[in-house]
Amino acid sequence: MKFTYTVGVRIPVGKILPKWREIEDRVNNTMKGFGFAEKMMQTYVQDFQVSVTRELTDAEIDDLKKLMQKSAREQFEFAEIEYFIVEAKEP
């Protein structure tokens, strides 16, 4: 049996597209001038998949989640795991 683990990681668009970050900064600075402390940040969710031939233990799943979170944060500040899906398929 094949098990596929899908981790959806929410990533800030401004960390990938510098021009978009400039737009966010301009909007945030303008809104700050009107007294708004909130910040705008556009995000999207990227799926990462791991396929294995056996079901992972709870400890292995926790390790996988931690590894994905660490990897995403090293590349994109503020990245967060949005969801975790497990699928089991017959060969």
List the pLDDT tens digit at each of the 91 positions of the chain: 889 999 898 888 988 899 999 999 999 999 999 999 888 889 989 898 889 999 899 999 999 888 888 888 888 877 888 888 888 876 6
Domain with 45, as residue range(s), is 2-89
User: Which helix (H) or strand (E) is 75 found in, with range?
Assistant: helix 58-75
Residue 32 to residue 46: CA distance in whole angstroms: 30
Who contacts 89 (Cβ-Cβ below 8 Å, separation ≥6)? 1, 2, 3, 4
* Structural domain count of the chain: 1
Q: Is 15 helix (H, G, I), strand (E, B) or coil?
A: helix
Who contacts 74 (Cβ-Cβ below 8 Å, separation ≥6)? none
Render the burial of 74-86: b for 16+ CB within 10 Å, e for the rest.
eebeebebeeeee
